[in-house]
Amino acid sequence: MKTLSHLFEGNLAWATAIKKKDPEFFSKLSKQQAPEILWIGCSDSRVSANQIVGLPPGELFVHRNIANVVVQTDINCQSVIQFAVDVLKVKHIIVCGHYGCGGIKAAMDDANYGPMDRWLNHIKEVSLFNAEKLKALKGDDKFNMLSELNVIEQVSNVADTTVVKNAWKRGYDLSIHGWIYNIKSGLLKDLNTCIASSE
> 42 or 90, CB closer to Co ion?
42
| Binding test (CB under 5 A) with Co ion, winner from 35, 37, 41, 44 | 44
d(CA 199, CA 187) in angstroms, rounded, equals 30
Minimum CB separation of residue 147 from Co ion in Å reads: 8
DSSP 192: S
Determine the size of the site formed for Co ion (CB under 5 A): 4
Stretch binding Co ion (CB under 5 A), from 15-23, 96-104, 121-129, 187-195: 96-104
d(CA 15, CA 125) in angstroms, rounded, equals 43
Strands 37-42 and 92-98, how do they pair?
parallel
d(CA 143, CA 82) in angstroms, rounded, equals 31
- If one asks whether residue 81 binds Co ion (CB under 5 A), the answer comes out as no
- If one asks whether residue 191 binds Co ion (CB under 5 A), the answer comes out as no
Minimum CB separation of residue 179 from Co ion in Å reads: 13
The residues pairing with 190 across neighbouring beta strands, listed in sequence order, are: 179
d(CA 152, CA 22) in angstroms, rounded, equals 39
> 44 or 148, CB closer to Co ion?
44
Interface residues with Co ion (CB under 5 A)?
42, 44, 101, 103
